[in-house]
Structure 1
Amino acid sequence: MPIPAVVVIVLLLLEMFLLVCFITWYYKTGIVLFKERLPANAAARARLALHTLEGNILDNQRRPLVFMSLSPRCMAFRRSQAPTFEKRPFAIMRGRVEVDHRHGEVRVVGMCSWFSVIWPAAIVLAQGPQGALFVLLLGLPLGVMAYLLQRTAFREVVKAVRWQLVDHEAIDLTQRQDTHQRHTQTATP
């Protein structure tokens, strides 16, 4: 077996280990592909329950997201690695939700997996110009498609975080007051 193939296999296994075991530094470092900043005041940040995010996400995906707490202010997530017979895109991103009290915001960040960067480089190194053409013609469109599919999953996480940041009790109270005012205005001629 050629040395580049062994290196790629070892790095893939290492990344799978880091991904499945939720190693903290792995989820906090990497090339950022997705970033959403949600402004949140102190009350909204206090309402945010990171441990309940997994239950707030609509499960309309083939591979559900799995969450794990890295710290009280940071939650990592990734696609489930459970075996299935369904067709599914390769996971090119891993993510985290972090509460930043200093800047008054909540960030949802998606980082690029090592394997999605290493395998095109290994193909180009092993095959030369033909490998570069293969990566350009086949790898690039597949990578873009996988990114777009995973970006929708990351947006579901953003929706769940936004939903938790909103004060639903205050909205219900305002709606009840508006309904009461409309009712009293129509009742008095």
Structure 2
Amino acid sequence: MISNATQNQSLMASHNLSTVNSSNYCPEDSFWKWHFTFQPIYIMLVCIIGLVGNSFVLVVMCLHKSRCTVPEIYLMNLAVADLLVLAGLPFWAVSIAQYYSWPFGALFCRCINALLQLNVYCSVFFLATISIDRYLALVKVLGHRRIRTTLCAKINCFIIWMFGLLLSSPAIIFEKMIDIKEMDLYFCLIIYPYEKHELLMSAAQK
């Protein structure tokens, strides 16, 4: 998952940051310097391209004169899910540029990572739903017309959003700011109170 991978990188960075800033050179130094310099640029490029592309999809769909079809409804919701995570990428780009220190406070720490989790789950479910819909449209042409209506598509999208919110709720509940006083840095991490919570979420993500 995106947020888990980012959090693991931030933990690794916290162990290696003192080495990067020290005078003693080792091969890891150049990697972390490259990482803190170029990954934020890459993330911002992905953000800009994604915002333009997904916004274009939504504009075309909204300006479409005829009623939206079932596949179009799913594609619009997929584009909205992508826009939500793209809106949070600049925050992580700034955080990585500052050695994974999180300068935006506890509220944004929870909200941004919840958006990342929400996008992961909703995108997977929307893509699966689009695949199922295409299968029914091409293979089961006459047998499933009643469930391939725009009303059913909207209900399915609502269920997916609610299920995604439920699965991403741990990011809102357990996401915390960790103060590393030795380095004067604040990290945004998920801290589970019990090990069973972490195991349960790891199983759900797999």
- Given the two structures, how large is their TM-score scaled by the length of structure 2? 0.30
Larger Rg: 1 or 2? 1
Q: With structure 1 as the length reference, what TM-score do the two structures score? A: 0.32
